[in-house]
Amino acid sequence: MSAFTHARTSDRIRLLLRRVLPWSAPVLAALGIAAVVAWPDTYLHATAARMFPLALLAVSVCVVTGHAGLPTLGQVAPYAAGAYTTAHLALHGVADAALHLLAAAAAGAMVAALVGVVLARYRGTVVLMLSLAVAELTTITASQWRTVSGGTDGLAGIPAPRLLPGLPPLLDDRAVLLYAAAVAATATAVAMRLLGGNRQLLLSAVRGNEARAAASGHRVTTYLWVVHAGAGAVAGIGGALLIHTHRWITPADVGFTSAALALLAVVIGGTASLPGAVVGAVMVLGVRDVVAVDLPGHAPLLLGALFVAAVYLLPGGLTALPARLRRSLRVLRPPANGPDTTAPHMSRRTS
């Protein structure tokens, strides 16, 4: 009898957790940002604001890698397109932030659509191989197309954007941080919304058994191409944020290192979780910015070590961590689980 009531309460707790857990991540993120904003150190504000461009790039990579199932290093191409579009709009006197974001999203989507024509036809590690060429080509173009990119010196002194035509330029570190956080959160939420419901089912069907999905009449490659282009828009917005938070850009910002960093963030976050990608990006950049002080010039070494560690120690990423912990706990103390808790599992499995 007591075991029965115990099961009821644990079920109730589980139900409560299921309702509360989806909100815990955004609430924690909001609390974290609020804490950083409240902190009186402007250097911290600037550092935090500069994490969001890469976080959005990671979200874009996550959409392509986790949802479309195409592991990619090539999303730096739309990221670069968004960044250089924004930079040139700002340099030519267009200061409206919303216009920047729209133009950057459009440029990113266009570039990703173009690249996707080839990439969406392939699967698995071949995509990774081809997208590496895309990333290399982006860096080469950025350093050689001097009229657009300013060569390896990059573009500096880009004017700050204005949120609305009458408002003063967005220069204050705290305001920039709030703005970047708001844009990143909105873009991520919209992407999550767009990838929910039936579309999520469709994409997981494609990842699970593509031949069957195609046999049911779904034009799989077209879907993946559309997702790739949409992810390009997110990367483009990330590029716009790069300009808004840094106000300069060099080809190194849109290079292979950024691509690898974003992919690493996605691996750490768990390939299909967009908030996980944001958390992963913040973690990777945090570690880099803290440790880089002691090891100047050795960011690649650190990045590589994090890659190896993530692959070995975090299979499935942070999102898979609770399930893995639960499993290892269950292995550690099997007698503690009575028959009343295992029974529902078994019946669920047979149904």
Residues in touch with other proteins (CB under 8 A): 71, 117-118, 121-130, 132-133, 136-137, 140, 144, 210, 220-221, 256, 260, 263, 267, 298, 300-301, 303-308, 310-312, 315
- Residue 6 half-sphere exposure toward CB, CA atoms < 13 A: 8
Rounded to the nearest whole angstrom, what is the least distance from the CB of residue 72 to other proteins in the complex? 11
Rounded to the nearest whole angstrom, what is the least distance from the CB of residue 256 to other proteins in the complex? 7
Beta carbons of 194 and 259 less than 8 angstroms apart: no
Distance CA(341)–CA(7), nearest Å, equals 7
Nearer to other proteins, 163 or 302 (CB): 302
- Residue 84 half-sphere exposure toward CB, CA atoms < 13 A: 25
3-state secondary structure labels for all residues of 155-181:
ECCCCCCECCCCCCCCCCHHHHHHHHH
Nearer to other proteins, 296 or 339 (CB): 296
Distance CA(306)–CA(269), nearest Å, equals 13
Rounded to the nearest whole angstrom, what is the least distance from the CB of residue 285 to other proteins in the complex? 16
Nearer to other proteins, 234 or 260 (CB): 260
Rounded to the nearest whole angstrom, what is the least distance from the CB of residue 304 to other proteins in the complex? 3
Task: Write the DSSP assignment of 61-96 as a string of letters.
Answer: HHIIIIIS----STTHHHHHHHHHHHHHHHHTT--B
Polymer length in residues for the chain: 351
Rounded to the nearest whole angstrom, what is the least distance from the CB of residue 71 to other proteins in the complex? 5
Nearer to other proteins, 71 or 161 (CB): 71
Nearer to other proteins, 43 or 312 (CB): 312
